[in-house]
Structure 1
Amino acid sequence: MPAFRPDDVPVFLLMVGRFHPLVLHFPIVLVVLALVAELVRWKGWLKQADAIMVVLLSAAAVTTLISVMAGFLLFASGEYAGLLMDRHFLAGAITGAAVFLALGFFLLFRKNPRFYPLYLACLITGNAAMAWTGHLGGSITHGEGYLTEYLPFLVKGSPSDAPRSEEEMLVFEDMIAPVLDAKCASCHNAERAKGRFRTTSLNELMAGGESGKSGIVAGDTSQSEVYQRVILPPGHSDRMPPEGKTPMTADEIALLAHWIQKGADPALRIAEVRQDGAIGSVVESLLPDLARYRRKAAVAKLRAEELRKELEVLATKLDVIVEPDTMADGDTYLLAMKFPPAPFTNDQFRELAPYSDVFSRASLVSSGIDDAGLYYISRMTNLRILYLQKTKVDGSGLIHLQKLPNLEVLNLSFTKVDDKAALDLLNFPALKTVYLHGTNTSPEVVEALRKYKPRLDIRMEEGPYL
């Protein structure tokens, strides 16, 4: 597919592209209805069949064209890219061509019956291509393999990680953590840390998020933000999980409170808790739900393994380094150039777009990235550390990086960043350290930055590369 930069496309057309998920339902219904109507017409059960078929096929052709055009504009926004997107667009184009050909051959068939096989073949092809297009679109929206994520368990049976015996089971690891994974981790994980808070590990729970409050305070439920949020009344704006999500049950909340009051000890065993009066009956009622929570955890583990394999293939294709980020607590990845660096430009960076939320650290030193490429980097919402030394960046695109809610370290050494661009650093929400060695930034502006944002550590040194 041809490459577009978002600023090459008028904003109005980008807005039109956003209607693609809405308009695509019209051709889906009409194309299927045309095939059903053809079957009914062939059986002779439909009066004025030819006129009805012309209307259906014409409407299907027009709405398919509109949907494909809107889809192309959505692609041109730069929000979607990669092999899956390319296949989706190609399948949509095939669908549109088949529907238009079906309409044309049907009009010819009305004059000459020998065109009927071609008309029918195009109509069937259009329906098949539409089904494939829909599957690919669903994979883009929900993730590749969305329809088949439970298939391995149908073939192999239950998840292979056998639970420990009840005597060995731990309150946090075997009961509370699975509940948090099932009801909180969809919004507070490595890929989507709302409020800069994650529930994927005990350390992250203790640390808390952007509110500055600890998620869990050992021995004190009144100071434990997680507990305080889950006990808020329904409809409260701060209640977690929010409206529309499955809340924690009374028993789950009771167990969480008991564990916190007992010191939030990760080594606390279920066997000990069951001997502790009323909480024992709570544990008894929760045990049957563990299998369901384990299954969800097993699906997440399977997805993580598939993601790792996909990233390995992409890293080989782009000749870059992609590996787990050992400096991060969650399951995020590091993106880095090899040495000597291979050619790596904005166009190649677009191929990383479907995986933008899995990167927490990126070292693009000496790559071909320029300010237009910073738009694509701005989609990496979990990025904490970004090294751009010796790139083609001049600072005109730094405004895009202001959208990164977690970016803490930015290295711009040996770039053409000037005073005007450097002032944009004042608007970075989480930035703690920036390197400006070898840039066109004047000492006066550096001092002004230090004055107006004293918590920002501005370093006039080359800084690390990885």
Structure 2
Amino acid sequence: MRVEALVKHPALVVCSFVIGVLVLGLPFIGKIEAPVIFLMLGRFHPLVLHFPIVLIILALMLELAIKFKFVPNATGLQLSLLAASAFTALIAILAGYFLFVGGEYSGELMEQHFWGATVSGAGVFFVTGLYLLSQRFQPVYPFYIGLLVLTNLSIGFTGHIGGSITHGKDYLTEYVPLIFQDEPAGSKTVEEMLVYDDMISPIFQAKCMSCHNQSRSKGGLIMSSLQSITKGGDSGLALITPEDLDQSELFNRVTLPADHDDVMPPEGQSPMSEQEIELLKYWITSGASPEQKVTALQAQPEIASVTNELLPQLARYRRKQAMAELKLKEVTNELEAVGKKLNLAIEPDSLEPGLFSLRVKFPPAPFNNDQFRELAPYNDAFSRLSIVSSSINDDGLYHISQMTNVKKLYLQKTNIDGSGFIYLMQMPNLETLNLSFTKVDDKVALDLLKFPSLKEVYLLGTKCTPQVVEALRKNKPGLKILFEEGPYF
């Protein structure tokens, strides 16, 4: 069949609009139980999604080229682009749907991406139908062009949401605040730079922090500050021993062979370069001082060339670090406003850099389960909670369990009876739990054995008997049980 006859075939127009409507209705079906083979096909979504994006952009570019007479009218080529875009869009959307129903991705961004994909995919089919109609009825052509532009914009937005799921919500706009700063990020002069703050720390930020941060402290090690590095991890080995490389576990790990089980960072992540390792070596052997200046290194022949080579390379790392500091400042201001609204004291935690402590003011301000909703956007920002004498009960423990970075939780003199302990068991970092003067009894106290990281618990004024306390000590010898009211902080 000739192209001229094909583009005017009414069945193609009807088919385009019908499939578009069906695609648009996909979100209303919701999640279904899909066979395993379809779940496997969902994994191909990232491989096929770029085809319809490129093809629909080319279709718009071709229309512009025809409009401005760069190329002659090309009906066959345009129909091919639109048909290929529609076909690959349908495959990408179905694969994305099966990925969605598999349950591996969820949340607000995922919902937005799903809706954006179905609207964009339906748009591709409607555009194709309008193009076919425009070949028979010229007045339809402006509607086709308008929808083609809108579909490209929708695909751009949907792609941005998809990238945000992978890279983070602010991936595209991450550097915008730096553009409007009076001084560029990391714009210190060399004379002002410190070796640790401006060279070593940015290297750690780039090469180590993905596994050793407040949210994910692999091996109990956090590397967000020199204080936390000095503290070390669960192994008990000194990470950095000034003037002694052999006793500096950090140096030992980054210099292991690439195929060694204990090499850091692990396989699949960017290791430190030879120059970065050389810098780390010199900094440790020269005393690992946080006050050491970069100019002091430039004055030493054995390390000067490495230092001068690294300074331009580390500018990118310092920009990342500056961005993190800006975000922390922004979160600090937001949490201060939330604290004032709820009459809570929310402050940076001096023991956990980058995280915050929260406490009920004395005399106790009214605080109940409902007010946790105000704190939900910042769940991962807290390391210590003291909600002593508040009116929360075990239902509120669900909200607390979403604060996965909390290490110390003080609940004394609340309405807790322990029926909500199942929520707290999900907290990977909870080390201290104060339950003094609550309704906790022997039955629920035994659940403390199931807390993964718990190191100390306060039980003064509870209904726990000495026999159960002894059983707790016997079955969890690392757990310190204290019969004191405990700190409020």
- Please indicate the TM-score interval, normalised by the length of the shorter structure: 0.7 to 0.9
- Aligned match of 2:319: 295
- Aligned match of 1:159: 184
Please list, as runs of the form range in 1=range in 2, the aligned pairs for 1:380-419 lying within 5 A after superposition: 380-389=403-412, 395-413=418-436, 417-419=440-442
Decide which of 130, 135, 141 is 2:160's aligned counterpart: 135
Amino acid at match of 1:146: Y
Decide which of 429, 454, 460 is 2:477's aligned counterpart: 454
CA RMSD, Structure 1 to Structure 2 (Å):
4.7
| Cα contact 1:57–1:102 (8 A) shared by 2 | no
1:86-130 Cα deviation digits (max 9, x unpaired)? 765664565467567668878998998877766665554444233
Are 1:278 and 2:302 matched, yes or no?
yes
Amino acid at match of 1:250: E
Shift in alpha-carbon separation, 1:274–1:129, aligned structure 2, 3 A: closer
Shift in alpha-carbon separation, 1:116–1:334, aligned structure 2, 3 A: farther
Are 1:360 and 2:383 matched, yes or no?
yes
Are 1:147 and 2:147 matched, yes or no?
no
Amino acid at match of 1:149: E
Q: What percent identity do the matched residue pairs reach?
A: 42
| Cα contact 2:55–2:84 (8 A) shared by 1 | no
Amino acid at match of 1:423: L
Aligned-residue offset at 1:213? 0.7
Shift in alpha-carbon separation, 1:371–1:195, aligned structure 2, 3 A: farther
Decide which of 211, 214, 221 is 2:235's aligned counterpart: 211
SS at match of 1:206: helix
Aligned-residue offset at 1:225? 0.8
Shift in alpha-carbon separation, 1:146–1:39, aligned structure 2, 3 A: closer
Q: TM-score scaled by structure 1?
A: 0.74
Shift in alpha-carbon separation, 1:283–1:165, aligned structure 2, 3 A: closer
State how many pairs are aligned.
Answer: 449
Distance in 1 (alpha carbons) for counterparts of 2:146 and 2:309 = 58
- Aligned match of 2:456: 433
Distance in 1 (alpha carbons) for counterparts of 2:131 and 2:345 = 52
1:242-292 Cα deviation digits (max 9, x unpaired)? 233332233333333333233333344455555555344444444444544
Are 1:23 and 2:45 matched, yes or no?
yes
Larger radius of gyration: 2
- Aligned match of 2:273: 249
SS at match of 1:448: helix
SS at match of 1:334: strand
Instruction: Tell me whether 436-445 or 138-147 shows the greater mean CA deviation.
Output: 436-445
Decide which of 224, 227, 242 is 2:248's aligned counterpart: 224
Distance in 2 (alpha carbons) for counterparts of 1:10 and 1:341 = 43
SS at match of 1:148: coil
Shift in alpha-carbon separation, 1:274–1:40, aligned structure 2, 3 A: closer
| Cα contact 1:221–1:260 (8 A) shared by 2 | yes
Unpaired runs of 5+ residues, structure 1, are 1-8
Relative contact order (C-alpha < 8 Å, sep 6+): which is higher? 1
Aligned-residue offset at 1:226? 0.8
Aligned-residue offset at 1:209? 0.8
- Aligned match of 1:183: 207
1:307-340 Cα deviation digits (max 9, x unpaired)? 3345456x37984747343342311122455653
Instruction: Tell me whether 93-102 or 204-213 shows the greater mean CA deviation.
Output: 93-102
Amino acid at match of 1:253: I
Shift in alpha-carbon separation, 1:362–1:21, aligned structure 2, 3 A: farther
Are 1:238 and 2:262 matched, yes or no?
yes
Distance in 2 (alpha carbons) for counterparts of 1:140 and 1:188 = 21
Aligned-residue offset at 1:212? 0.8
Shift in alpha-carbon separation, 1:120–1:281, aligned structure 2, 3 A: closer
Shift in alpha-carbon separation, 1:246–1:54, aligned structure 2, 3 A: closer
| Cα contact 1:345–1:369 (8 A) shared by 2 | no
Distance in 2 (alpha carbons) for counterparts of 1:106 and 1:188 = 54
Unpaired runs of 5+ residues, structure 2, are 1-30, 67-71
- Aligned match of 1:5: none
Distance in 2 (alpha carbons) for counterparts of 1:69 and 1:28 = 17
